């Protein structure tokens, strides 16, 4: 039995399960039980061994043979932004066809208030539908003629119905916004309802009335409850575009009121192009590194460190200018000087090469090893840049945006390119720390089990296996990335992501055994019981 030094009586006992503690399994039988005291693991072992720690007032939970894993930690999610509108949006993550998708719009229209917007903002892609296409303006008009409807597929395309075009003040005479355009029928010049580009998306989303602070707070709590039902106990929020300090007010209010049930680790981004150094320096000047408590903590700077260094999906030609590189160096040096980790979005090897040059220059003055610098995505990283990344002690956050984008990426990068996107086996061989996440809620699905399925199988949502077998992960290694690997980003890999004495009692009791189910069942795994610091954050009542 594994116990903490001098274990006293525990508060809670979780018995009769199959416990994966994290990392390589040691010799002997698999643990079946956990003992918890004051929100931390006291011991892990057999039922008989754990019962020896029972006291007169201990709570006992029968796990009924279920698989127990450390609580999942999404290493790259835009949860603060997504939570603000979670309750007012539909999600098509698991929707298999267009007929079912349209039915959700029709159902929402029947209960919505007059004139209320109905929206699906990211987290899905037409490749998952049997029809392999998004709905049309006419189809949206048919199911919700009296409500504005906005449907956005990842960051690729959005479709509006007629009521939405009117509500947003968009007609055939409307000029295309910078960074976007509204599709027009080539014969008639009339709007088709389809929109492309961030400029167009933001133009439409800006026309939707914002929620009140109280509603944003309730919506954020609702999102966290849904994520707990998937087994999540922690999120590394990646910041992202348009995330000034005021966007965090609803999360902070939830935390101040004692309603925050998810361990949130925040990376802080620049909000405005041209103001990156000033805005990030203000964050760093007023906030000590890793400031916070066990539930809410600032983790680092990123993923938008400089707008001129962000290569988006990596599907178009992109280069980091000399001026942008100079600013990146300036920001990275300031972060290293203050002891802040830095995370940067980078898909293309050309972007990664320029970023690593900046970081190596910083490293000559301030050693970066130990500061937890990292890249998100790194889909196209070359072997040479992998070695440079490893030399800096930097990590990679793997996310599953290619589960939807693999076909498009392969078309842009060349036949066979997606077979090594990303080079997972080479990253492991180089000893690069690996975290894992979803990049939800717009760029991908929020379902962590879909992300794990992608890591394990290399498949895409369209059913095509593309990543080479050598770059696919074993189930235990993938789960390690999604637990202790993501905890590495915030210096917590010894206290979170493992079910060992002294670690936080953060774990999930699964609906199916992740290590035994067929691969195609992995995306459908859910949590029967999710525990955060010994407190029940979610339960279906199946275990008791």
SS (H, E, C) 111-150: HCCCCCCEEEECCCCHHHCCCCCCCCHHHHHHHCCCCCEE
- Would you say 129 and 101 are in contact if contact means Cβ atoms under 8 Å apart? yes
- pLDDT at residue 44 tops 80: yes
222 φ, ψ (degrees, to nearest 5): -65, -40
Q: What is the pLDDT of residue 386?
A: 98
* CA torsion angle 23 27 28 34 (round to 10): -30
Q: What is the pLDDT of residue 3?
A: 65
- Length of the chain in residues, anyone? 544
- Would you say 301 and 331 are in contact if contact means Cβ atoms under 8 Å apart? yes
pLDDT tens for each residue of 247-264: 999 999 999 999 999 999
The DSSP H or E segment spanning 85 is: helix 79-85
Q: How confident is the model at residue 526 (pLDDT cuts 50, 70, 90)?
A: very high
Q: How confident is the model at residue 391 (pLDDT cuts 50, 70, 90)?
A: very high
Q: What is the pLDDT of residue 46?
A: 96
pLDDT tens for each residue of 163-214: 999 999 999 999 999 999 999 999 999 999 999 999 999 999 999 999 999 9
- pLDDT at residue 52 tops 80: yes
Q: How confident is the model at residue 17 (pLDDT cuts 50, 70, 90)?
A: very high
- Would you say 74 and 448 are in contact if contact means Cβ atoms under 8 Å apart? yes
- Alpha carbons within 13 angstroms on the beta-carbon side of residue 8 total 6
- Would you say 149 and 115 are in contact if contact means Cβ atoms under 8 Å apart? no
Q: What is the pLDDT of residue 55?
A: 72
High-pLDDT (> 70) share of the chain, %: 98
In the three-class reduction of DSSP (H, G, I as helix; E, B as strand; rest coil), residue 213 is classed as: helix
Ordered strands of the 507-510 beta sheet: 18-19, 67-70, 507-510, 527-532, 535-539
- pLDDT at residue 26 tops 90: no
Q: How confident is the model at residue 462 (pLDDT cuts 50, 70, 90)?
A: confident
Mean pLDDT of all residues belonging to the chain: 95
**CB-based burial of residue 295 (10 Å sphere; 0-12 exposed, 13-18 middle, 19+ buried)?**
middle
- pLDDT at residue 123 tops 70: yes
Could you give all domains of the chain from N- to C-terminal order, each with its CATH number? 2-65 (2.30.40.10), 118-205 (3.10.310.70), 274-494 (3.20.20.140)
* CA torsion angle 181 187 191 197 (round to 10): -20
Q: What is the pLDDT of residue 465?
A: 83
For the record, the structure tokens of 252 come out as: 């902070």
Q: What is the pLDDT of residue 478?
A: 98
Q: What is the pLDDT of residue 4?
A: 61
- Would you say 223 and 237 are in contact if contact means Cβ atoms under 8 Å apart? no
């Amino acid at each position: 039995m594994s116990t903490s030094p001098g274990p006293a009586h525990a508060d809670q006992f979780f018995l009769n399960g199959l416990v994966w503690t994290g990392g390589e399994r040691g010799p002997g039988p698999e643990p079946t039980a956990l003992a918890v005291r004051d929100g931390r693991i006291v011991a892990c072992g057999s039922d008989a061994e754990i019962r020896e720690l029972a006291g007169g007032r201990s709570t006992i939970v029968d796990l009924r043979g279920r698989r127990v894993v450390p609580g999942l930690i999404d290493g790259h999610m835009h949860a603060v932004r997504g939570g603000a509108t979670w309750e007012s949006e539909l999600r098509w993550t698991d929707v298999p066809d267009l007929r079912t998708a349209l039915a959700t719009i029709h159902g929402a229209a029947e209960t919505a208030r007059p004139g209320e917007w109905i929206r699906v903002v990211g987290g899905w892609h037409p490749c998952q539908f049997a029809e392999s296409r998004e709905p049309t303006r006419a189809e949206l008009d048919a199911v919700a003629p009296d409500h504005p409807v906005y449907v956005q597929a990842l960051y690729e395309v959005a479709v509006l119905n007629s009521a939405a075009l009117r509500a947003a003040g968009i007609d055939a005479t409307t000029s295309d916004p910078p960074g976007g355009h509204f599709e027009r029928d080539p014969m008639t010049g009339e709007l088709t309802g389809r929109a492309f580009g961030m400029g167009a998306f933001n133009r439409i989303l800006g026309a939707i009335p914002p929620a009140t602070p109280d509603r944003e707070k309730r919506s954020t709590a609702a999102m966290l409850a849904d994520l707990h039902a998937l087994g999540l106990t922690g999120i590394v929020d990646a910041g992202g575009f348009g995330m000034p300090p005021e966007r965090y007010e609803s999360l902070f209010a939830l935390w101040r009121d004692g309603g925050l049930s998810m361990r949130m680790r925040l990376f802080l981004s620049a909000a405005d192009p041209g103001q990156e150094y000033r805005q990030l320096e203000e964050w760093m000047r007023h906030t000590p590194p890793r400031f916070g408590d066990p539930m809410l903590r600032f983790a680092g700077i990123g993923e938008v460190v400089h707008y001129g260094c962000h290569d988006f999906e990596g599907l178009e030609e992109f280069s980091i200018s000399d001026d942008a590189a100079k600013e990146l160096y300036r920001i990275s040096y300031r972060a290293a000087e203050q002891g802040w980790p830095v995370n940067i979005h980078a898909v293309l090897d050309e972007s990664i090469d320029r970023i690593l040059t900046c970081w190596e220059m910083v490293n000559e003055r301030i050693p970066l090893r130990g500061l937890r610098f990292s890249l998100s995505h790194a889909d196209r990283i070359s072997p040479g840049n992998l070695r440079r990344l490893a030399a800096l002690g930097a990590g990679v956050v793997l996310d599953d945006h290619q589960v939807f984008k693999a076909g498009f990426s392969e078309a842009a990068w060349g036949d066979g390119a997606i077979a090594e996107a990303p080079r997972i086996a080479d990253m492991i061989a180089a000893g690069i720390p690996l975290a894992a996440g979803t990049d939800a809620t717009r760029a991908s699905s929020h379902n962590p089990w879909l992300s794990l399925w992608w890591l394990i199988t290399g498949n895409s949502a369209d059913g095509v296996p593309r990543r080479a077998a050598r770059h696919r992960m074993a189930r235990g290694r993938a789960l390690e990335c999604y637990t202790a690997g993501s905890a590495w980003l915030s210096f917590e890999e010894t206290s979170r992501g493992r079910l060992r004495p002294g670690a936080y009692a953060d774990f999930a009791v699964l609906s199916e055994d992740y290590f035994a189910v067929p691969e195609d069942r992995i995306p459908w795994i859910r949590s029967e019981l999710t525990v955060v610091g010994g407190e029940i954050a979610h339960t279906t009542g199946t275990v008791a």
